[in-house]
Structure 1
Amino acid sequence: MTTAPTRTFGERLRGLVPQLMRFGVIGLVGLVVDVGGFNLLRFGGSGGEGLLHEYVLLAKVISSFAATVVAWVGNRYWTFRTTRREEKHHEFAWFVIVAVVGMGISLGCLWISHYLLGFKTPLADNISANGVGLVLATMFRFYAYRQHVFNNRG
């Protein structure tokens, strides 16, 4: 009985770098779809009023959903192409769950900073939600996508 050679931490890390880079590219594309879609829906019409100018939350839900679909397709067919599941609908459902938990992490950071600690400036809100929250949520998402969503091992 032969066992596979054990890889060092450095070897495992070097093996993750290309996947992390692809994950980052897909994340940036998703961000552009989300932010661009939101602004287009709100302000992309004549006179600066888009189709959903008065419906801020609906515009954000639609742009977030579009970004989630883009991110799932990109991650499924590029970032995690060698480990994706056969059952697309099952994988997508888990992807959405992980995305929502990731969004909750960002919102939690914002809530703590804004309401619990009382940091209410636009800069503080952006640092907590889009700085700390985004970093923590991205780390969680990468781990969860790799271990649970795009994992054909079981």
Structure 2
Amino acid sequence: MNLVERVREVLPPKYRELAKFLVVGGSSWVVDSGLFLILSHTILDEKVITSKIISILVSTIFSYILNREWSFSHRGGRERHHEAMLFFLVNGIGLLLNLVPLWISHYLIGISQPDYSRLTVSVADFVSGSIIGTLIGMAFRFWAYRRFVFPDELSSADEQQGTGGEPPVRAGS
């Protein structure tokens, strides 16, 4: 029995969506954090906020594809272009929420060079931007995806017909 089958066996169905969301989020976090560290220590050395914005945008595109096709594949309720627009709007708000701790660390508390060592600034940036900011953004995103982006559970008949994300046809619509 492989790991996925074992998890399915142990995890109650109502928590599977959250588990998938967390796997996608963890993968996106690796993309975000890795790209942020590379950018903020190389070509965007003095532009930490710009580095974080770019890394979040790249990881958001990655996240949309995985969430749409795996985490929330059994949900729909919106036309694909509306769903994508809402996803990126929610992630825009999530981006701002993610940046708040980093901004506070740099500009309100003042943890930046030359007042602190490069190691101290890097650790503070990582903790505030990649841990605290990510946790705040993640909680908001999970709630907003379920509430606004992927609002309806698709029935098994919808999934078998291949609507997979397209809204069910409703009378009078």
| TM-aligned CA deviation for residue 132 of structure 1 | 1.1
> 1:16 and 1:115, CA in 2 relative to 1: closer, same or farther beyond 3 A?
farther
Aligned to 1:24: 22
Aligned to 1:101: 93
Q: Return 126-135 or 27-36, whichever deviates more.
A: 27-36
> 1:113 and 1:16, CA in 2 relative to 1: closer, same or farther beyond 3 A?
farther
RMSD of aligned residue pairs (Cα, Å):
3.2
Identity, in percent, stands at 34
| TM-aligned CA deviation for residue 148 of structure 1 | 0.6
| TM-aligned CA deviation for residue 151 of structure 1 | 0.9
Matched, 1:135 2:135: yes
Aligned to 1:146: 146
TM-score, normalised to structure 1's length?
A: 0.66
TM-score, normalised to structure 2's length?
A: 0.60
Aligned to 1:5: none
> 1:17 and 1:152, CA in 2 relative to 1: closer, same or farther beyond 3 A?
closer
> 1:64 and 1:114, CA in 2 relative to 1: closer, same or farther beyond 3 A?
closer
Residue correspondences, number: 130
User: CA separation in 2, counterparts of 1:140 and 1:99?
Assistant: 9
> 1:84 and 1:102, CA in 2 relative to 1: closer, same or farther beyond 3 A?
same
Residue type of the alignment partner of 1:146: R
User: CA separation in 2, counterparts of 1:16 and 1:136?
Assistant: 22
